[in-house]
Amino acid sequence: MFFLVTKHNTAKETFSREKIEKTFQRAATGLEEKCLFQEIKSELEKYLMENISTEDITKLIIKAAINLISVENTHWQTIAGRLVTMDLYKQASRNRNIDIQNIYSDKHFSQHFQNYIETKKYYQNFMEYYTPEDIKKAGSYIKQEYDFEYGYTTAIMLQKRYLLNPNKIVHELPQEMYMAIALFLAIPESAETRLETALSIYDACATQKISLPTPTLMNARTNFHQLSSCFKLNVDDDLRSIYHNIENMAQISKFGGGIGVYLGNIRSKGSNIRGIKGASGWILPWAKVINDTAIAVNQLWARAGAISVTLDIWHKDILDFLDMQTETGDIRRKSFDIFPAVSIPDIFMQRVLDNKDRTLFDPKEINDIIWKKLQDNFQEDFTTFYEQLEQDPKITLKQTIPAKELFKKFLKSVVETGMPYTFFRDTVNKTNPNNHAGKIYSSQLCTEIAQNTSPSTFIEEEEQDGTINIKYKAWDSVVCNLASINIAKVHTPEEINKIIPIAMHILDNVITLNFFPMKEAEITAKKYRSVWLWFLGLAEYLATKNMVYDSAFARTHIDELFEQYAYTTIKSSNQLAQERWSYELFKWSQREKWILFGRDESWYLQHSQLKEKWSDLIKNIKTSGIRFAYHLSPAPNTSTSLVVGTTAGLLPIYKKYFVETNSIAPSVNVAPNLTPENTRFYKEYVHMKMPEVIDMIATIQKWIDQAISFERIIDPAQTTPADLFSYYIKAWQQGIKTIYYVRSMSLDVKECTSCSG
């Protein structure tokens, strides 16, 4: 084949099949027998033409590799990823004038690091913590082979989203990104151990054993280090509080954070204002203001703000709230850009089962007459107070409705919209390790965060020398500091004991280094030092170990594995407390009373596989405390799983083979490490029995001190309203704390190859 191609500098040269083959051979190292050049050559030749640019040829080679990805041969994902990375090398070598054959070196990294500090792309104070010799050592430690383990989706997401290359001029490379992030995250360590810790962080993250969230990947190493992903607010029934929190939502959204906000304190429609009965509006106008704030503050046009709003199911405005996103009713009452959630107490679920009535109340009227807030009570206290209010003749703003009818309306909204999310408030607070310091009223955007919140209160507005100062008393507003453990790579005792302490060091340092977009969040973060250890890759792990997700055998195994994760996490927190100090509110907490995950020492001695270890750890915690107020909260991890090339969160796979169409990394995706031998163990979510999935999540929930983001995928052709009802009842009865989206698969569902294989 003879024709001319156009090089980067516009010069012409003859097309060279040998250059293409040489590039492919490098990309196919170790996979030569599985991925043949002749296959990609045949694909490529469909697109070649006279005067095609070498840049376009590179894109076409990658496209050809993607086209060859199949269930039968998943290795083309690796080939495509390597080709993307090799193209990055080519661009960086040209832009930095360095040898592509020695793309990573201590000299090149030092030059890059210094250049990025001087141009203010990297943190300006880096060299206060590291010497030039430290940076040189870090550069010599970089391992190029890590790059060639990344699949196409990982490589393209790093290129398009996470590498710090303004204006698409490639300078920073993947391993330089991971090393710079590691150096930044190790800054709070002692001078003696800082570089050693940084290298450990680098290895754990670059090998995809620990996955960092988007804000950390993007902002750690920069001068703008907002490292947190989610925030959780509590709004009081006061105009100042409402608008103060709306301003906070805007600030959080501006910096890319997701938000969960509790609205249960706000008075209902028909309540009084300054003694005038019926003067109050209702929840929906405030929800609409929040909705419009999410749209207006749209993160530099990258995406709309993401805000979840939670209301109690006993609130008098709940019926309208449940219609907020349905296709029926007054369009002026709709808010389609926020995510509704409902907080449900045990008494409501029990009355649904008993087919009894349910009473709706106005929270302000209760507080005005009884001087006590119903929403501030939980479990038995809530039930007792609630039943008293039902009989109290002084309470007039109430409405009685059959509990099942209310739940049917809830389910109707779920079927139509996939929402509202569900927050089982009594289940959550039953195991709250910090119930001495507050209560948990709601979760956040993805429903896994379960921590104390309380609304900040307005104190005064004063003038001093022409300056107006507005003062608030700050209470608890939660901020998420998180990292994820890749179960597919971290599941042996040796790896667990090595990797989880690194993750906990990262999370503790993130709290110290973080920029907080609102002061309340900073105060709460430093008071509680809460962290979120997430998990992903469960479906990949089970399939590659020849276990079916929805089997009793898998649940028994995962129970043991997550006990090991939980134990090592709490042990690491205890060790950090010994090295540094305990979180401020440790005294009087459940942990100080020898209670972990809602269970005392006697439970562990009777039921645990790690009896003696738990017993020793509980005693150590009593003596030396614990570093973090909250530790574990598995999230959906959908985007994060793509970055590290594994399956999302703790759920089954959506499909073994699908086309990912997101704007960052459109790609063909095949279940990780799929082989003819394990394909029957990669059972797709829609083909599973939901009670078995609930059993798995409940098994894991036992070892999680917060909640689990539990998304359901159902086949509408096989799921009746009674089934859906039973799934909620079963989840509540088995101690699951929250439920995320309920998604419906298309009615055109093909035969499950897992079931028939």
**What is residue 216's predicted lDDT score, i.e. its pLDDT?**
93
Say if residue 64's pLDDT is above 60.
yes
Exposed, middle or buried, 711 (CB in 10 Å: 0-12/13-18/19+)?
A: buried
248: part of which helix (H) or strand (E)?
helix 239-254
**Separation of alpha carbons 744 and 714, rounded Å:** 5
Q: Helix, strand, or coil here: 409?
A: helix
Q: What does DSSP say about strands 52-53 and 12-14: parallel, antiparallel, or unpaired?
A: unpaired
State the average pLDDT for the chain: 92
Of the candidates 94, 88, 104, the one whose C-alpha atom is nearest the C-alpha of residue 7 is 94
Give the residue carrying structure tokens 């290359």: 165
Centroid of chain to Cα 520: 22
Residue 12: predicted pLDDT: 83
C-alpha 282, offset from chain centre? 32
Give me the DSSP letters along 492-559: SHHHHHHHHHHHHHHHHHHHHH---SSHHHHHHHHHH---EEEEE-HHHHHHHTT--TTSHHHHHHHH
Look at residues 177, 45, 168 and name the one whose alpha carbon lies nearest to residue 104. Answer: 177
How far apart are alpha carbons 728 and 741 in whole angstroms?
12
Q: Indicate whether 750 pLDDT > 60.
A: no
Distance CA 655, CA 735 (A): 28
Say yes or no to pLDDT of 185 above 60: yes
In this prediction, residues 89-96 reach a mean pLDDT of 96
How far is Cα of residue 274 from the mean position of the Cα atoms in its chain?
42
pLDDT value for 87: 95
Measured CA to CA in angstroms, residue 626 lies from 272, 511, 587, 589 at distances of 46, 15, 10, 10
> At 284, is the pLDDT very low, low, confident or very high (cuts 50, 70, 90)?
very high
Per-residue burial over 399-408, b if 16 or more Cβ lie within 10 Å, else e, is: eeeebbebbe
Residue 98, both tokens:
């360095």
| Among the listed residues 620, 526, 528, the one whose alpha carbon sits nearest the alpha carbon of residue 574 | 620
Structure tokens at 483: 């990292």
**In the predicted model, is pLDDT for residue 18 greater than 90?**
no
More confident residue, 715 or 606: 606
- What local confidence, expressed as pLDDT, does residue 239 receive? 93
Continuous segment of H or E residues that includes residue 232:
strand 230-234
> Which range is least confidently modeled, 297-311, 528-542, 616-630?
297-311
pTM of the full predicted structure? 0.94
Q: How far apart are the first and last CA of the chain?
A: 44
Most confident of 297-311, 716-730, 737-751: 716-730
* SS3 category, 203: helix
Helix (H) or strand (E) holding 53: strand 52-53
Q: 595 pLDDT exceeds 50?
A: yes
Under the banding of pLDDT at 50, 70 and 90, the label for residue 83 is: very high
Strand 210-211's sheet: what is its strand order?
A: 210-211, 482-486, 532-536
Q: Say yes or no to pLDDT of 359 above 70.
A: yes
Confidence of residue 747 (pLDDT cuts 50, 70, 90): very low
- The predicted structure's pLDDT at residue 165: 97
- Res 19: pLDDT: 84
Q: Rounded distance, CA 398 to CA 465, Å?
A: 49
Q: CA of 106: how far to CAs of 120, 198, 203, in Å?
A: 21, 16, 17
Q: Which sequence spans correspond to the domains of the chain?
A: 230-462
Residue (of 459, 407, 428, 425) closest to 597 by Cα position = 428
Residue 751 has pLDDT above 60, yes or no: no
Options 3.40.50.410, 3.20.70.20, 3.40.50.2300, 3.30.465.10; CATH for 230-462 is 3.20.70.20
Mean pLDDT across the stretch 125-151?
A: 98
